[in-house]
A and B are shown apart, each in its own frame.
Chain A
């Protein structure tokens, strides 16, 4: 008897669980889970741990599903860019159709299960987030306007709002402050990346600001957005989700971030190439810590509140 299932054509496209995991953009999922947890715990309503766990899990699954759909749609440009060439589809480990099926199936599952575990408003927000990320950002804005990152950043900013709505079942100002924090943080974060990933976006034909308006304009945009972000981030300290811990973290982090943005603005391409974009790379790394610590501070304020320590 011979083994009829063996076929050399399918050998390369035989994905493992790890390939499917990679398809769901695990690093983005980590950020989504963290910010959604902060949104959920910062809300003034306590949630049963099982419902909280299940809801965060389904928000993460929704984020993973949109990651898979994004990789399906962007497979052509992913294979051109060095940063993304090893993703499962351009690497030949997963077929585009498999990514599409996984993304659609998990999107439906995540939205339906979030409606059952939490409430309809949270599920509707998750559905809108997936729609926004795939249709508005990936399919429309990303390849048509240099403002792609600015408007598309909204997709990544929704998780704390969804987390808050899981707990309360309604909207308030505070989750939108967390939304605004991520929304305003996204452009300087990605534009710094675009500055030192020099030819990637040019090669792929993605109209990033560096390609359409030039690199000096990108440096100016980073500074302007960082100034606006600083005002927002420090101002949030004086709302009901802020407090002394958050204020201290915000003052230090925004001071460092603003200094980084001014340094980037003062430099030109010659200076940057001399040290292989050291300042831009440092700013990008700081931006990751910046967002993590701001949300960590909001979380600390929320967790200390029952003991009368968090908040003002």
Chain B
């Protein structure tokens, strides 16, 4: 038999997990935006190994 009533502890954990999840998604988006900005800015140079290919 499963427990139907959600305990306070589960509510807190759920809120925390959601918060951490959102922060991780935000971090990924930020790193992506930073990468685009750095790559598209004028002074970006390819690493030497890729330049030679």
Chain A residues in the interface with B (C-beta under 8 A): 1-3, 5-6, 10-11, 14-17, 48, 50-51, 54, 57, 116-117
Chain B residues in the interface with A (C-beta under 8 A): 1-3, 7-10, 12-13, 15-16, 19-20, 30, 33-34, 36-38, 41
* Bound complex: CA A57 to CA B8 (Å): 32
- Sample (9) of A-B pairs whose CB atoms are under 8 Å apart: A10-B9, A14-B9, A14-B12, A14-B13, A15-B12, A17-B15, A50-B34, A54-B34, A116-B34
Q: Once A and B bind, how many residue pairs between them come within 8 Å at the CB atom?
A: 39
A265 smallest CB distance to B (angstroms): 48
Residues of B within 8 A of A6 (CB): 7, 9
B18 smallest CB distance to A (angstroms): 8
* Bound complex: CA A1 to CA B2 (Å): 6
Q: A3 touching B30 by the CB < 8 A rule?
A: no
Q: B19 touching A17 by the CB < 8 A rule?
A: yes
Q: B30 touching A57 by the CB < 8 A rule?
A: yes
* Bound complex: CA A3 to CA B8 (Å): 13
* Bound complex: CA A269 to CA B41 (Å): 62
Partner of A51, one of B2, B9, B19, B37: B37
Residues of B within 8 A of A3 (CB): 3, 7
* Bound complex: CA A51 to CA B37 (Å): 8
B47 smallest CB distance to A (angstroms): 15
B7 smallest CB distance to A (angstroms): 6
A5 and B9 in contact (CB under 8 A), knowing A17-B15, A17-B16, A17-B19?
yes
Q: A50 touching B9 by the CB < 8 A rule?
A: no
* Bound complex: CA A92 to CA B39 (Å): 46
